[in-house]
A = this chain, B = another copy of it.
């Protein structure tokens, strides 16, 4: 398989993959492109290689920077800005987990906690069903919360190795 072909396929697949995870296809593709590029790229490089508009590149790179997955690099003496992605996959995963936790799990747990004081008879079938489900989610969420926190702070090998050892 030729390198150019492999690159293209990787970018395409990574994009498709992203769409299943609530990530915009193009953003995932930009990320993929930066992940496999030896050197940092300019907006124009990305525009050209993915055949997308300047505005689109700009928007998606900004988003990737927000997610902490891409860095803006300023080369002294050059006008253009360069961009490069974090290449260490463990760090990438950690960063994504951290952000999603902050953006989604935390707000969800906050919401769930509001449901503690429901008016009405706790013995009522419907009330009970609601509270049971909500409490189940709360418990699960709290545990996931702790687990992810720990994961985010753990060292790559230590964490996975220990985990696998214990689990086996």
Nearest CB of chain B from residue A129's CB, rounded to whole Å? 4
Q: Which residues of chain B have C-beta atoms less than 8 A from A103's C-beta?
A: 20
Pick from A108, A114, A167 the residue with the most CB of B within 10 Å: A167
Contact status A7-B119, CB under 8 Å = no
Q: Which residues of B contact A90 (CB under 8 A)?
A: 140
Instruction: Please state if B118 and A17 are interface contacts (CB–CB under 8 Å).
Output: no
A111 touches B164 (CB 8 A): no
- Complex CA gap A13/B114 in Å reads 13
In the complex this chain forms, how many copies of it are found? 2
Pairs across A and B, CB under 8 Å, 20 listed: A2-B119, A10-B111, A10-B115, A10-B134, A17-B108, A35-B133, A36-B130, A36-B133, A37-B126, A38-B125, A38-B126, A38-B128, A87-B136, A89-B140, A90-B140, A147-B167, A150-B167, A150-B168, A162-B166, A163-B166
Shortest Cβ distance from A141 into B: residue? B89
Contacts of A132 in B (CB 8 A): 87
